[in-house]
């Protein structure tokens, strides 16, 4: 247990410092080579990586529509309904985020609009690994579907059975994804950014991944014109603020549900009760024993801290300084503190709101800024699949009025042709 | 004059390809050194650059509040009122963009919110050069002001008179900017991203600049945790779609008002009338003669093209493919075509809506995605000064309902601690 107020400012800062994530030069060079190969060889490069990295003897790229359509038949009824329930809630929450165009007259004869346009072509990346991640498909796929993007392509590597898990395909089917490609890693990201024979070139790629995927997203978003990515990536993290009447078993369960994500996950508890912290420590030890991913969770707990604070107000200040991806509030009365929430990705209020509810099914998006980026980046939302542009339409009299602003400003900025474009029109009006 | 349909697909593509903007390794190394110096030396580094690059004998950093307050006294009444009129229109248009929180029940007992938080600390950069750019201050400063950001700092280099132009200071005053710093280039960007004794550390930097500024924004947004930038930078550009009854003098004036920005500006005309194109060419020659920035405009015209198209529909397709920063429509009837607008930063409709109206005073923002980034990036708008986050609050019964989705999904994804966090609560409910 750490007592916040007994630590030096330096130690306090160190407690809130995340482990450095170094992008190695080796990874950068490998990814750069992959990007060049995909640019030159297209599909052939992707097929080569599938043989090389996924050990596939007869790799294919595009999943036939029939397999997507029939995916539900391979799911238990329980899992099928779980995917449908999660899909429905996520859709309800994101549907409410549909943007509305704005149109107004800023001054007489000057009409201005702010309009939303769905980004044309969207790429979704779903990492492979030990288990499929249908929830990641839903979180990104629902947004792409609601935006009405013309092209939505999903890339993911096959699993140990040499196929894409039916849970992934069924989630993709619900989201109306037009193309599923069996391709993973930096090659898949490059294919979506550049385009190959089988993979359409997209404008924006969403989704998590390992350090090669992250590097590919970063390099391609800098080098490919008109191509963007969702947000910077970092290890997952949770911060819990709890008071003296919080349930230590619940706190321990929530800390571990974050810690099991990966050895680099970070979990922090800020609590004003010594006794709750001690009980949480005991509950952690007990719950850890029976956890299948115990080794991972234990490693993550080593980057983590249970901190005693003098007041809940101070806990909110520390949280704002840290900027957690997930912020869980287990407080007798959370409502009065909600206006103090700052720099959090997603907030979980009350004893019966575990992080896993938001990870899967409450309706909020589980793609969140992490590693301190919640100070400036948004939680993934429907607007990330749109862009805005403006339209203006001015009457002759409107332009005459505006000329009193335009002409002196163009003159001050030394831009005569800017002034000319107005003067020539004022002249034409006189002659009308 | 280029006849679109007589060109090969390859030439057509070449016509729409922007000149490559290469970030040189030399610039990257210089900027990297500047970032290191600002990190280690703080203000001292900024003062050193002011002596070195701006040739100042007694450089200072922070402009005294009194100079900002008295700036209007040094302006002509005409320019003062021009700044005020532009400020009012830009404010009106952006005020209408104030975001609204969303709150809904996604399923019984599950309440979800999408909330907006103003980004805490904003940095604005205004480049120096031959003339001051008060309009750039307004476009960024109004948004920062409307968002209610706690800290807004503006960095700009002094001009030839060894001071910041009063037009810049007055625009800053109207926007309620809390601190104006006499510092330019990559050093100023580094100071805002890292923080020095005089310059507060900010979360997001907005504003244009030369290749050093652009490189500093890029490098720092990758290396500084919790720091972001507005959008990728590129040379300015306009695409005009005109029909047979468009006014060639107006077209020429608009093309030149873009071309005078810089030698790397690109201007394109798509027109279905040979005669209008010929008359535009003549008007261009005549108008160029009397332009003070003739050399720049002439150089820019060399990257540019007047293209004859078979139909206005085709012109809109070409425009969507190019993705222009500015799109001007000089058409007898523009309204039926507006739904075909795609991938434009800002659209100017009608004979009396020159680009310079939007640059200065219509109310729309003149900070726009360029270089093809309008396929995926938004025009600068008020939401760029906010971030969103979510909040969820679930009742015991709500969690019980959700558990039918959470438990099978956590099981499918092999995340037992995620399931545990729910199971432990379901158990607790039974015991209640």
Q: Which of A257, A396, A404 sits opposite B418 (nearest CB)?
A: A257
Q: By the 8 A CB rule, do B316 and B337 touch?
A: yes
| For residues B173-196, average pLDDT | 97
More confident residue, B110 or B264: B110
CA distances A284 to A4, A249, A254, A257, Å, are 21, 8, 10, 11
Can you spell out the DSSP letters for B327-359? Answer: EEEE-S--GGGGGG--S-SEEEESTT--HHHHH
What does the pLDDT read at residue A325? 97
Residues in B touching A227 (Cβ below 8 Å): 376
Tell me, what's the ipTM?
A: 0.96
What pLDDT, on the 0 to 100 scale, is given for residue B72? 96
Q: Is B94 labeled as ligand-binding? A: no
In this predicted structure, what is the pLDDT of residue A83? 98
> CB–CB of B36/B156 below 8 Å?
no
Structure tokens at B37: 């110096």
Q: Which two tokens stand for residue B170?
A: 């007055």
Among chain A residues, CA nearest to B320: A120
pLDDT digits (tens, 9 = 90+) for B332-345: 999 999 999 999 99
How many angstroms separate the CA atoms of A180 and B230, rounded?
A: 33
Q: Look up A366 and say whether it is catalytic.
A: no
Among B408, B411, B416, B428, most A C-beta atoms within 10 A, so best to mutate, is B408
Catalytic pick among B237, B260, B325, B355: B325
pLDDT attached to residue B21: 73
CATH of span A2-18+234-363? 3.40.50.1980
Looking at residue A18, its pLDDT comes to: 87
Whether residue B23 has pLDDT greater than 80: no
DSSP code at position B394: E
H helix runs in B227-273, sequence order: 248-259
Q: Which residue of B has its CA nearest to A166?
A: B412
Beta strands in A170-277 (DSSP E): 179-182, 204-206, 228-229, 237-242, 266-271
Tell which CATH architecture fits domain B234-376. Answer: 3-Layer(aba) Sandwich (3.40)
**Spatial distance between the Cα atoms of B87 and B108, rounded to a whole number of angstroms:** 47
Q: Enter the tokens of residue A393.
A: 């339409």
Is the Cβ pair B381, A388 closer than 8 Å?
Answer: yes
Task: Give residue for tokens 């003067």.
Answer: A423
Cβ–Cβ below 8 Å for A414 and B131: yes
Interface touch A360/B421, C-beta < 8 Å = no
pLDDT in tens, B197-243: 999 999 999 999 999 999 999 999 988 988 999 999 888 999 999 99
For β-strands A346-349 and A151-156, DSSP reports them as unpaired
Q: Could you tell me the residue ranges of all domains in chain A?
A: 2-18+234-363, 25-101+119-229, 396-431
Q: Residue A302: what pLDDT?
A: 86
Distance from the Cα of residue B384 to its chain's centroid: 9
**Alpha-carbon gap, residue B81 to B89, rounded angstroms:** 12
pLDDT of residue A188: 98
Tokens of A151: 């092209």
Binary contact (A352, B399; C-beta < 8 A): yes
Q: What pLDDT is recorded for position A233?
A: 86
Give the model's pLDDT for residue B304.
Answer: 85
Class of domain A25-101+119-229: alpha beta
Residues 6+ apart with CB under 8 A from B344: A389, B239, B319, B323, B324, B325, B326, B327, B374
Which residues of A are less than 8 Å from B351 in CB distance?
Answer: 425
Tell me the nearest-neighbour CA distance from B348 into chain A, angstroms: 5
Q: Do B257 and A387 touch (CB under 8 A)?
A: no
Q: Which of B120, B360, B385, B403 to mutate against chain A (most A CBs within 10 Å)?
A: B360
Q: What is the pLDDT of residues B384-425, one digit of tens each?
A: 999 999 999 999 999 999 999 999 999 999 999 999 999 999
Determine the pLDDT at residue B56.
86
Could you list the mean pLDDT of each consecutive 10-residue stretch along chain A, which spans 432 residues? 94 88 86 98 97 88 96 97 98 98 98 98 92 95 98 94 93 96 97 98 96 95 92 92 98 95 92 98 95 90 92 97 97 95 97 97 97 96 98 98 98 95 96 78
Q: Catalytic: B237?
A: no
pLDDT class of B18 with cuts at 50, 70, 90: confident
Quickly list DSSP for A89-106. HHHHHHHTT----EEEEE
Question: Chain B: nearest CA to A418, how far in angstroms?
Answer: 5
- pLDDT for the residue B130: 78
What CA–CA distance (Å, rounded) separates B16 from A121? 20
Q: How far is CA A42 from CA A190, A195, A199, A246, B374, in A?
A: 10, 7, 9, 55, 26
In the numeric block, the tokens 């009012």 are attached to B88
Class of domain B25-97+119-229: alpha beta
Instruction: Report the C-alpha gap between B405 and A78 in whole angstroms.
Output: 8
Same fold, B25-97+119-229 and B234-376: yes
CA distance A315 to A307: 9
The contacts of residue B334 (CB under 8 Å, 6+ apart) are: A393, B349, B350
Mean pLDDT, range B302-329, rounded to an integer:
95
Contacts of B112 in chain A (CB under 8 A): 93, 362-364
Whole-number Å distance between alpha carbons of A269 and A341: 16
Please give the Cα distance from B228 to B193 (Å, whole number): 9
**H or E element: which one contains A40?**
helix A25-41
Q: CA B94: distance to chain centroid? A: 14
| CA-based nearest residue in chain B for residue A101 | B97
Find out whether B418 and B410 touch, Cβ atoms under 8 Å. Answer: yes
Across the interface, which of A356, A402, A404 has its CB nearest the CB of B406?
A356
Paired residues of B3 in beta bridges: B308
Of the candidates A152, A132, A133, the one whose C-alpha atom is nearest the C-alpha of residue A142 is A152
| Residue A270 to chain B, least CA–CA distance (Å) | 19
Q: Do B413 and A134 touch (CB under 8 A)?
A: yes
Alpha helix ranges (H) inside B181-289: 185-194, 211-223, 248-259, 274-289
- Using DSSP, state whether B203 is helix, strand or coil: coil
How far is A314 from chain B, CA to nearest CA, in Å?
19
CB nearest B112 (choices: A362, A372, A424): A362
pLDDT of residue B303: 81
Q: Which helix (H) or strand (E) holds B136?
A: helix B134-147
Which residues, at least 6 apart from A77, have a Cβ–Cβ distance to it below 8 Å?
none
Lowest mean pLDDT among A81-95, B13-27, B57-71, B400-414: B13-27
E strands present in A309-403: 326-330, 346-349, 386-394
**Alpha-carbon gap, residue A73 to A214, rounded angstroms:** 34
Count the neighbouring beta carbons within 10 Å of the beta carbon of residue A218: 18
Q: From the candidates A237, A326, A355, A366, which is the catalytic residue?
A: A326
Q: Do A358 and B392 touch (CB under 8 A)?
A: yes
Which 3 state secondary structure label does DSSP give A263? Answer: coil
Which pLDDT score is estimated for A99? 97
- Out of B237, B326, B355, B366, which one is annotated catalytic? B326
Residue of B nearest to A105 (CA): B93
């Amino acid at each position: 247990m750490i007592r916040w107020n007994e630590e030096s400012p330096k130690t306090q800062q160190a407690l809130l410092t995340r482990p450095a994530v170094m992008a190695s030069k080796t990874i950068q060079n490998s990814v750069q080579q992959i990007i060049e190969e995909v640019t030159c060889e297209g599909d052939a490069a992707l097929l080569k990586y599938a043989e090389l990295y996924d050990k596939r003897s007869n790799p294919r790229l595009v999943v036939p529509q029939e397999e997507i359509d029939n995916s539900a038949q391979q799911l238990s009824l329980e899992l099928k309904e779980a995917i449908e329930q999660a899909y429905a809630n996520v859709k309800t929450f994101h549907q409410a985020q549909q943007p509305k165009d704005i149109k107004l007259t800023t001054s007489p004869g000057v009409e201005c609009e702010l309009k939303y346009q769905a980004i044309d072509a969207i790429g979704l990346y779903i990492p492979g690994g030990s288990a499929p991640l249908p929830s990641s498909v839903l979180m990104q796929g629902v947004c792409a579907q609601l935006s009405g993007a013309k092209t939505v392509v999903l890339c993911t590597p096959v699993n140990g059975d040499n196929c894409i898990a039916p849970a992934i395909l069924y989630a993709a089917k619900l989201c109306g994804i037009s193309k599923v490609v069996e391709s993973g890693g930096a090659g898949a990201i490059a294919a979506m950014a550049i385009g190959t024979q089988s993979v359409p070139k997209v404008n924006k790629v969403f989704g998590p991944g390992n350090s090669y995927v992250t590097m590919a997203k970063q390099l391609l978003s800098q080098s490919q014109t008109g191509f963007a990515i969702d947000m910077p990536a970092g290890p997952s993290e949770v911060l819990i603020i709890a008071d003296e009447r919080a349930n230590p078993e619940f706190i321990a369960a929530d800390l571990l549900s974050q810690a099991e994500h990966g050895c680099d996950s970070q979990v922090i508890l800020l609590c004003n009760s010594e006794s709750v912290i001690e009980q949480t420590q005991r509950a952690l030890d007990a719950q850890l024993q029976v956890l299948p991913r115990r080794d991972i969770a234990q490693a993550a707990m080593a980057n983590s801290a249970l901190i005693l604070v003098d007041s809940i107000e101070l806990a909110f200040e520390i949280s704002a300084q840290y900027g957690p991806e997930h912020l869980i509030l287990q407080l007798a009365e959370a409502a009065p503190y909600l206006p103090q929430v700052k720099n959090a990705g997603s907030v979980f209020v009350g004893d019966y709101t575990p992080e896993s509810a938001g990870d899967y099914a409450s309706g909020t998006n589980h793609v969140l800024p992490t590693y301190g980026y919640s100070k400036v980046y948004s939680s993934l939302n429907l607007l990330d699949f749109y862009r805005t542009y403006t339209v203006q339409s001015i009457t002759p009299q409107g332009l005459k009025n505006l000329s009193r602003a335009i002409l002196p400003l163009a003159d001050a900025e030394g831009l005569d042709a800017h002034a000319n474009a107005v003067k020539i029109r004022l002249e034409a009006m006189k002659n009308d």
